[in-house]
């Protein structure tokens, strides 16, 4: 088992069809004690029970610093350590540049970018004290190619910000044996894009994906597990593309 006895915290992990929950399931199968963190309406405790015995659900809002700090404190109190953080919570909006309002900007940047900063800040002191830890941040192909398929420019900016933030944190925390890496998923079938791709657009999208299919949550989960595990113990600051070849470069 790749993650035996590790405590793994996954933000935005409660959506049963999402990347976070697929990662939670795979990490639990690899021996980790998993904590699913999500908004109250997503019912993280109910999601955690689906993983089996010993896993936890925590309600928190990653855009709120006090909420992130309280969640980390609760987990440290209950489980004694946090070995892995997956910064997965994110929202998107289909917008054109001129249509992005200040509220849109705040909503999208706050969850992906501010949330990645606040949750990382909440766990890094414990990881530094342990002199070990792995953080995996979920960015997007949208950050690299200037728009994925559905998100607006503010989403690309948020996800590009995650890449820069993660690389800078990786430099700062390498000496403490804390590794910080990113995954950039392409188009993966989850609730974030459900029903939003018109049938007449699908073939055009597939034509741009050498592996000729839309991704599945487990395609991303496997890569997150790898980066979080000791198999990747000499990797920090990397960006792992998980997009079926959409962006070979
Ligand atoms: P999803 O909607 O299933 O998951 C997002 C989760 O984030 C939800 O459970 C939601 O409740 C949670 N969340 C939202 N705001 C939050 C907040 N303020 N605090 C805590 N949790 C919050 O969608 P998904 O596709 O599984 O997305 C997971 C991540 O992957 C996101 O960061 C998304 O941007 C990224 N991503 C997805 C795709 C894709 O094609 N699905 C591609 C690239 C990147």
The verdict on residue 118 lying in a domain is: yes
- What torsion do the CA atoms of 33, 194, 120, 162 make, to the nearest 10 degrees? 140
The reply to whether 138 falls in a domain is yes
Average pLDDT score over residue span 98-107:
98
Q: 175 C-alpha vs ligand 1 centroid, how far in Å?
A: 30
Residue 57 lies inside a defined structural domain of this protein: yes
Q: Ligand 1: residues within 6 Å at CB?
A: 11-12, 14-15, 18-20, 38-39, 42, 61-63, 88-92, 111-112, 138, 140, 185, 187-188, 190-193
Does residue 130 fall inside a structural domain? yes
CA 89–ligand 1 middle distance (angstroms): 4
Q: What is the pLDDT of residue 6?
A: 98
**Residue 218 is part of a domain; what is its CATH number?**
3.40.50.720
Average pLDDT over residues 108-137: 98
pLDDT above 90 coverage of the chain, percent: 93
Inside any domain, residue 247: no
**Domain-located, residue 2:** no
Please give the residue range of the domain that contains residue 65.
Answer: 7-242
Predicted pLDDT of residue 22: 98
Give the pLDDT score at 230.
98
Which of 105, 118, 155, 173 is an active site residue? 155
Domain count across the chain: 1
Span from the CA of 190 to the centroid of ligand 1 (angstroms)? 9
What's the rounded Cα separation, in Å, for the pair 13 and 30? Answer: 17
CA 139/CA 142 separation, integer angstroms: 8
In a domain, 224, yes or no: yes
Listed residue (225, 186, 232, 191) closest to 209, CA to CA = 186
pTM of the model: 0.98
Q: Which of 153, 46, 34 is nearest to 92 (CA)?
A: 153
ipTM (interface pTM): 0.99
Assess whether 105 carries a catalytic annotation.
no
Residue 148 pLDDT more than 80?
no
Confidence at residue 110, expressed as pLDDT on a 0 to 100 scale: 98
- Convert the pLDDT of each residue in 18-67 to its tens digit: 999 999 999 999 999 999 999 999 999 999 999 999 999 999 999 999 99
**pLDDT classification of 208: cutoffs 50, 70, 90:** very high
pLDDT digits (tens, 9 = 90+) for 8-21: 999 999 999 999 99
């Amino acid at each position: 088992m790749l993650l035996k006895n590790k405590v793994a915290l996954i933000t935005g992990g409660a959506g049963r069809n999402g990347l976070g929950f697929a990662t939670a399931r795979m990490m639990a199968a690899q021996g980790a004690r998993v904590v699913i963190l999500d908004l109250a309406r997503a019912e993280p405790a109910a999601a955690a029970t689906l993983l089996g015995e010993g896993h936890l659900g925590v309600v928190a809002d990653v855009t709120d610093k006090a909420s992130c700090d309280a969640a980390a404190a609760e987990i440290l109190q209950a489980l004694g350590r946090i070995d892995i953080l997956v910064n997965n919570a994110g929202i998107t909006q289909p917008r054109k540049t001129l249509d992005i309002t200040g509220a849109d900007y705040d909503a999208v940047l706050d969850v992906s970018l501010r949330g990645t900063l606040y949750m990382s800040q909440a766990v890094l002191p414990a990881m530094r004290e342990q002199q070990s830890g792995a953080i995996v941040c979920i960015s997007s192909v949208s950050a690299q190619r200037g728009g994925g398929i559905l998100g607006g420019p503010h989403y690309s900016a948020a996800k590009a910000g995650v890449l820069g933030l993660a690389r800078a944190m990786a430099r700062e925390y390498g000496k403490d044996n804390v590794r910080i890496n990113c995954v950039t998923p392409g188009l993966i079938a989850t609730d974030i894009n459900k029903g939003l791709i018109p049938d007449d657009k699908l073939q055009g999208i597939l034509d741009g994906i050498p592996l000729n299919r839309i991704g599945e949550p487990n395609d991303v989960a496997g890569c997150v597990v790898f980066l979080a595990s000791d198999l990747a113990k000499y990797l920090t600051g990397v960006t792992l593309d998980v997009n079926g070849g959409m962006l070979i470069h």
